[in-house]
Amino acid sequence: MGMMRNCRDVARLLSCAEETSLRWRERWAVRVHQLFCVYCRRYGRQIVLLRRALVRRRGLRGDIASLDAPARERIQAVLNKSQQGK
């Protein structure tokens, strides 16, 4: 994939960055895209704001280990289904 990503790719990467570390090329591509796209900059700030609000409100550690087994299974099923659609 080229250096300049579209908004859909950047939104996916920003969401993934909350759970895992992005490779340096992905981080660079997101930063370059955000230089030109106000909507993706805004989306990135919203994700950070939501994460902080959840942590503050519920005292979550921010990791999936704090969830019960059925919740982890539901999340994994949704993630698997979204990966199959690509």
Residue 77: its pLDDT value, please? 85
Residue 86: its pLDDT value, please? 55
C-beta separation of 22 from 30 below 8 A:
yes
Angle of helix 24-36 relative to helix 7-17, nearest 10 degrees? Answer: 130
Token pair in block for residue 78: 């949704």
C-beta separation of 10 from 37 below 8 A:
yes
Residue 60 predicted with pLDDT over 60: no
**What mean pLDDT comes out for the span 44-66?**
76
Angle at 61 between CA 21 and CA 38, to 5 degrees: 50
DSSP secondary structure letter of residue 50: H
**What mean pLDDT comes out for the span 37-56?**
90
Q: Note the pLDDT tens digit of each residue in 1-26.
A: 456 789 999 999 998 887 888 899 99
Token pair in block for residue 38: 């106000």
Amino acid occupying residue 66: S
Residue 3: φ, ψ to 5°: -70, -40
**What mean pLDDT comes out for the span 59-82?**
75
With 0.75 as the threshold, say if the pTM is over it.
no
